[in-house]
A and B are shown apart, each in its own frame.
Chain A
Amino acid sequence: MARMTMIEAIRDALDVAMGADPTVVVFGEDVGYFGGVFRCTAGLQAKYGKTRCFDTPINESGIVGAGIGMAAYGLKPVVEIQFADYVYPAYDQIVSEAARLRYRSAGQFTCPMVVRMPTGGGIFGGQTHSQSPEALFTHVTGLKTVVPSNPQDAKGLLMSAIEDPDPVIFLEPKRLYNGPFDGHHDRPVTAWKTHELGEVPEGHYTVPLGKAVVRRPGQAATILTYGTMVHVALAATAESGVDAEVIDLRTLLPLDMETITASVNKTGRCLVLHEATLTSGFGAELAALVQAECFWHLEAPIRRVAGWDTPYPHTHEWSYFPGPARVAEALRQLVEVA
């Protein structure tokens, strides 16, 4: 076991994958010589050479489109979009091509590609360095969508994503790159080295896609969340005094309905939490599924706490970000409903 940040864990996953499999190639903007604007690919070009890890022109559609061609050829591209906010020029390639290749060719051509992208707010990133576009991917048949919340999962999930035969959207909460963050922006930043999930096994291991994990067992309510909000949920649970079960979904699609329904059927109450904007966000899907699967066990309406339906603001960051105070209040209201 080694102590790692999420950045180091991601880099380690790439390193292990590239070392084991010569078909794994890594590329994107500033990914090669420089090692990425977040250092996630530092040292990989020096170790594996320029044709395994390289810089690309600034063209997201080009990055993903070229990756699809390579995947069809037989390579395993792990491409990087510098910020999830900049994935939109590649959306056509992701939705119309990567996600559909296997289906439309009846399996003749496949797309074992991973698209990595830093996501989420809480860093004063303003409108174009803070977005959480996961619902734009979970709505696309043929894609898998993954959001880790800690270094140990980040490496194991990325290894699984690279080995997966289907295209995987891998969203990395950049607020969690260097340490866990519970939404208390006025307190000192903590580092992963003091967190048990900063313990990252060396070498190869995987965390399976499609499997959620209970981060905190509880009886009074279930919080369904992922990414940065896992840590906010844990803080809000402690601060509210509500004995909530916190579930880190880890993979949004395919979704681990067994873990979700077992928990909600036990607690009878459900709070869905994400940074992304509320309307038509992934929380709507979660709420609809829980309503359908757990209706007879529900003792209160399902609540959703999410980003407001506005573009992500700069100066109003902490009024926008669904922090522990907002979540705690929602939890209290959730358990007060008779």
Chain B
Amino acid sequence: MSDDGLPPLSLTVPEPEVRPGGQPDFSHVAIPRAGTVRRPDVDADPESIRDLAFTIIRVLNREGEAVGPWAEALDLTPEDLLAGLRHMMTLRIYDARMLNAQRQQKTSFYMQHLGEEAISCGFQRALAPGDMNFPTYRQAGLLIAAGYPLSSMMNQVFSNADDPMRGRQLPVCYSSREHGFFTISGNLATQYIQAVGWAMASAISGDRQISAAWIGDGSTAESDFHAALVFASTYKAPVVLNVVNNQWAISTFQGIARGGSGTFAARGLGFGIPSLRVDGNDYLAVMAVAKWAAERARRNLGPTMIEYVTYRAGGHSTSDDPSAYRPAEESNAWPLGDPILRLKNHLIALGAWSEERHAQAEAEILATISTEQKKAEAIGTLHQGQHPSKADMFEDVYAEMPPHLLKQRHEAGF
């Protein structure tokens, strides 16, 4: 020991509250009552709304009522809400079917959205045609809410002859320019700064489109998260910077990425970016906050950061077993509940929905997806049926195939 009398240094490695075998405990998560968080004007000085990065904006209360200033600003019809419920139900049922298809070896891989459906399905409703999402692999609700055909999604997952990505990409790496869904990359966080560049391009061109960046809690630790915040802040780019905090990055709990910052939304404050934290399992709160941020971007008031507080109820992917690192019952203990159940209860409270109609809708959606799935499987699945041509493997590396690739394609016999 040195002679200054201090003990040796020791390294801090954060740990989640509970591990497998333990009792799930979220009592440390401070959750404000619905309707209690204020709704500032969209042109509010970022300094004056710092508190919104440390609370949780919520609209739906335990009785299923939409309450508070964020609810009042929404102005939705029951039809809007029913469409939202249908989007979320569709995503969940689609997920279940694709998960099963992976278990049946019809595809190599799948990633579900269980418990996070409100975020992507709700956010998409705040966008206009021409706006662009830069999603991660866990925002397929953006596509569903934008009306992208389920058959195209399935064909991509099965890598069959009708796969819009021509069998080049891992399952769930969708892309649709027309539906405002930027091509998904396996490299985490890269799209976050690209979204900022896209928004800068719209501003440079004097256009009206905005963009939305997406990232998970774990990936905020990547350098491109920082790059995006710097560029968004410097150029006041018309971008909404979304952070989906589902508590887990594969096996790593969010404290490893968050450190002592308290919340992920707080990261935005250091860049002078207005930052909100919202109940990610509250479809109405997601929509309300998304509209607020989109309006800020459209009015050239600059970027907004939104942290969605949610829980990754399923495994990270079909290659993951969460019971190895967290309690099996943890998702049931999650205090913000289930997004579909909560919107369903709201619609029932409004008198616009019922258990019977819900069960009926569920059966209808399942029937539609089953039909679509049969059609997709008839075209082909990973190991059976029709696939994109092998010659196509060499296309689109460049706009025009250079001589060395022509030669290789010839050598390969395609």
Chain A residues proximal to chain B, CB less than 8 Å: 23, 25, 51-52, 56-57, 59, 61-62, 65-70, 72-75, 77, 89, 92-93, 96-97, 100-110, 141-142, 144, 164-166, 210, 253-255, 257
- Cβ–Cβ contact B197 & A66, under 8 A: yes
Which B residues lie within 8 Å of A254 (CB)? Answer: 402-404
- Cβ–Cβ contact A69 & B201, under 8 A: yes
Which B residues lie within 8 Å of A142 (CB)? Answer: 397-398
Q: CA–CA, A51 to B228, complex, Å? A: 18
- Cβ–Cβ contact A96 & B187, under 8 A: yes
- Cβ–Cβ contact A70 & B182, under 8 A: no
B170 CB to closest chain A CB (Å) equals 10
Instruction: Choose one: A66, A100, A107; the contact of B200 (CB below 8 Å).
Output: A66
B109 within 8 A of A: no
Q: CA–CA, A73 to B237, complex, Å? A: 14
Which B residues lie within 8 Å of A73 (CB)? Answer: 132, 197-198, 201-202, 205
A-B pairs, 6 with minimum CB distance: A69-B197, A66-B197, A65-B193, A62-B227, A73-B201, A105-B183
| Given A59-B227, A70-B197, A109-B183, also A93-B190 (CB < 8 A) | yes
Instruction: Choose one: B194, B205, B399; the contact of A102 (CB below 8 Å).
Output: B399
| Count of chain B residues near A, Cβ 8 A | 47
- Cβ–Cβ contact B197 & A104, under 8 A: no
Which B residues lie within 8 Å of A144 (CB)? Answer: 398
Which A residues lie within 8 Å of B196 (CB)? Answer: 65-66, 69
- Cβ–Cβ contact A72 & B198, under 8 A: yes
CB-nearest residue of chain A to B199: A69
CB-nearest residue of chain B to A23: B205
| Given A109-B183, A110-B399, also A96-B165 (CB < 8 A) | no
Which B residues lie within 8 Å of A23 (CB)? Answer: 205
Instruction: Choose one: A74, A97, A102, A105; the contact of B398 (CB below 8 Å).
Output: A102
Instruction: Choose one: A68, A104, A165, A253; the contact of B173 (CB below 8 Å).
Output: A104
User: Can you list 15 residue pairs at the A/B interface with Cβ under 8 Å?
Assistant: A25-B204, A52-B204, A57-B230, A62-B193, A65-B192, A65-B227, A66-B194, A67-B197, A68-B194, A68-B197, A69-B200, A77-B197, A92-B187, A142-B397, A165-B398
| Given A61-B223, A73-B202, A166-B398, also A106-B193 (CB < 8 A) | no
Q: CA–CA, A75 to B367, complex, Å? A: 44
Q: CA–CA, A103 to B399, complex, Å? A: 9
CB-nearest residue of chain A to B170: A104
- Cβ–Cβ contact A100 & B398, under 8 A: no
- Cβ–Cβ contact A104 & B168, under 8 A: yes
Digitize B389-404: 1 where CB-to-A-CB distance is under 8 Å, 0 elsewhere.
0000000111100111
- Cβ–Cβ contact A65 & B197, under 8 A: yes
- Cβ–Cβ contact A102 & B224, under 8 A: no
- Cβ–Cβ contact B166 & A65, under 8 A: no
> Which residues from 173 to 224 on chain B have a C-beta closer than 8 Å to any C-beta of chain A?
173, 175-177, 182-183, 185-187, 190, 192-205, 211, 223-224
Q: CA–CA, A110 to B190, complex, Å? A: 16
- Cβ–Cβ contact A109 & B177, under 8 A: yes
B231 within 8 A of A: yes
Which A residues lie within 8 Å of B190 (CB)? Answer: 65, 92-93, 96-97
CB-nearest residue of chain A to B184: A104
Instruction: Choose one: A52, A61, A108; the contact of B193 (CB below 8 Å).
Output: A61
CB-nearest residue of chain A to B198: A69
Q: CA–CA, A168 to B196, complex, Å? A: 21
Which B residues lie within 8 Å of A57 (CB)? Answer: 230-231, 234
A295 CB to closest chain B CB (Å) equals 16
- Cβ–Cβ contact B230 & A62, under 8 A: yes
- Cβ–Cβ contact B223 & A104, under 8 A: no
Which A residues lie within 8 Å of B198 (CB)? Answer: 69-70, 72-73
Which B residues lie within 8 Å of A107 (CB)? Answer: 396
B315 within 8 A of A: no
B272 CB to closest chain A CB (Å) equals 13
B350 CB to closest chain A CB (Å) equals 40
Q: CA–CA, A93 to B227, complex, Å? A: 12
- Cβ–Cβ contact B201 & A70, under 8 A: yes
Which A residues lie within 8 Å of B185 (CB)? Answer: 96-97, 100, 104
- Cβ–Cβ contact A108 & B177, under 8 A: yes
| Given A104-B169, A142-B398, A255-B404, also A65-B201 (CB < 8 A) | no
CB-nearest residue of chain B to A254: B402
- Cβ–Cβ contact B403 & A102, under 8 A: no
- Cβ–Cβ contact B397 & A102, under 8 A: yes
- Cβ–Cβ contact B396 & A102, under 8 A: yes
Which B residues lie within 8 Å of A109 (CB)? Answer: 175, 177, 182-183
Digitize B218-249: 1 where CB-to-A-CB distance is under 8 Å, 0 elsewhere.
00000110111011001000000000000000
